[in-house]
Amino acid sequence: MREWTDEFITDAQQELVGMVKDWKYDYGADDKACSAMLLWMVLKLNPKAEIDPKMFQG
């Protein structure tokens, strides 16, 4: 894995924003649905992650 430089973080953020824009376009998802999908991905990658259920409320 690459070092977490400012450039790496900026590139990752741009990729994530692009992915969310694709979801909105492809599936008609709104910000709440995209947030839920991202939180679901966190749980898939780290099942022990402690995510506040209030984060799913908009």
40 and 34 Cβ atoms separated by less than 8 Å: no
Model pTM score: 0.70
pLDDT of residue 58: 57
State how far the Cα of 10 lies from the Cα of 54, in Å rounded to an integer.
27
State how far the Cα of 37 lies from the Cα of 23, in Å rounded to an integer.
10
pLDDT digits (tens, 9 = 90+) for 7-54: 999 999 999 999 999 999 999 999 888 988 898 899 999 999 998 877
34 and 23 Cβ atoms separated by less than 8 Å: yes
